[in-house]
Amino acid sequence: MKYTRSKYSIGDMVIVNLGMIDPDFGQEICGWVGTVEKCRFIPEAGYIYTVRWSDETLEKNNVLKVSCNELGLDFETMQLLERDLSLYLSVRGKRFIRECLTLARRDRALSYAGFVFC
């Protein structure tokens, strides 16, 4: 299989796509948000990402946390395929936002055009 470039980078924030079901418990997990922690390529499946869930996602799913603890599963991370995820906020985008917030309000508008070349 030909290697392609991964869609997401370590540090990117991703959101789980509509219709995605947790394979361990059968619960829908669409809308869960987390940060890509690891990425690896599996020839038969493509890229698989280890996603560390955001604090907000963890707080909203305490019931699932109890189930994971009972089975000895890690609740704070999950491995998902590239097709199961969408970009929520990129590392590049975070850097751009941080840089823009340091600028005077008037200069911010002029900096947006430069984002394309970051």
In angstroms, rounded to a whole number, what is the distance separating the alpha carbons of residues 79 and 38?
Answer: 9
The pLDDT score that the predictor gives to residue 16 is 92
The pLDDT score that the predictor gives to residue 30 is 87
Domain ranges of the chain: 13-89
pLDDT digits (tens, 9 = 90+) for 73-110: 898 999 999 999 998 876 666 666 666 666 665 554 55
pLDDT digits (tens, 9 = 90+) for 39-80: 999 988 899 999 999 999 998 887 788 888 888 889 899 999
Q: Does domain 13-89 have CATH number 2.30.30?
A: yes
Helix boundaries (H) for 10-90: 55-60, 62-71
The pLDDT score that the predictor gives to residue 99 is 66
The pLDDT score that the predictor gives to residue 63 is 77
The pLDDT score that the predictor gives to residue 100 is 61
Instruction: For residue 97, give every residue at least 6 positions away whose Cβ sits within 8 Å of its Cβ, in sequence order, or none.
Output: none
In angstroms, rounded to a whole number, what is the distance separating the alpha carbons of residues 61 and 37?
Answer: 20
More confident residue, 55 or 23: 55
The pLDDT score that the predictor gives to residue 117 is 45
